[in-house]
Structure 1
């Protein structure tokens, strides 16, 4: 089995992200939406598809340990699902980078429902570093692209 390109597997679930990486944690209220409908969008890669990231290999649904490959801007993006959470008010998964991914690190996609207000909040959490000479070359432009994609992902989580 191909190994992940980083050691801190599952760390996007932690409050404090691992040192030595660029950190990102952004949330957006989705309002009082149906959590189960939003979960279906999340767990069937529709968040990525709606954001312009195409799945080219892997299962149709998020599954712990599954390898999935996406394509974006002619770049192949191989990942492995390292965490899946299904609780009454929390649905989430995280995937980590595999060799060939432009970054090294992990990204978590989360939907959390507030029990008192029934409001659902979407959160993207990531830690990463450039993983190839190309991503090192583009430098800060890569972080700008990451912020743009994060906004797209958050918007795509809403039914």
Structure 2
């Protein structure tokens, strides 16, 4: 992995706030989906650990390769390679963590795509533990296809929507059945989602 590099898209960090939904950069599409994934402090703590350690991506089937984790947690500037099996091959997506938030009732992070990723833009996972005791996950992004991937714009958008639903479902399921484990206790060693 290489060190932190400039991001190849405008308005880095914009996924932190919902304002991006009404005012995305020109040529980019912004999306947000939110769902309740549990309730109470136990679910909050488990979900927080999952989100802040790439667990939400891993639960959705991605491998995460990074050598920059500190105590298993994401940090601003951390580069990573996300790996996802598609049609017997492994899609490799270089990204970089742009922002991290870890407060009493709000936690999450956003990452930006790097050259070689099929999309240009940013994706964020933001948890909130409401006064109603419900833990909610928001997945927010703005993106557009990169390079020759523009030829597959519609399939990419559909895949992105499906993956957003998968993030929400898988994290909610892990809260219900307790199968998420404690990824933050693992060392920062690379995990390869290439299926082999």
Common fold: TM-score over 0.5: yes
Name the structure 2 match of 1:141. Answer: 155
Structure 1: runs of 5+ lacking an equivalent: none
Name the structure 2 match of 1:157. Answer: 171
Match of 1:118 among 129, 133, 142: 133
- Larger mean Cα displacement after TM superposition, 72-81 or 143-152: 72-81
- Larger mean Cα displacement after TM superposition, 42-51 or 144-153: 42-51
8 Å CA contact 1:5–1:98 kept in 2: the answer is yes
Matched, 1:19 2:31: no
How many residue pairs get aligned? The number is 157
Name the structure 2 match of 1:28. Answer: 35
More strand by share: 1
Query: Residues 19 and 2 from structure 1, CA distance in 2 versus in 1: closer, same or farther, beyond 3 angstroms?
Result: closer
Structure 2: runs of 5+ lacking an equivalent: 176-196
Deviations 1:90-134 (A, max 9, x none): 01100001111111100010110112x10011100000011130x
Distance 1:64 1:19 in 2: 22
Q: Runs of 4+ in structure 1 displaced over 6 angstroms?
A: none
Structure number with larger C-alpha Rg: 2
TM-score using structure 2 length: 0.75
Matched, 1:57 2:66: yes
Name the structure 1 match of 2:81. Answer: 69
Distance 1:157 1:125 in 2: 15
8 Å CA contact 2:96–2:112 kept in 1: the answer is yes
Name the structure 1 match of 2:54. Answer: 45
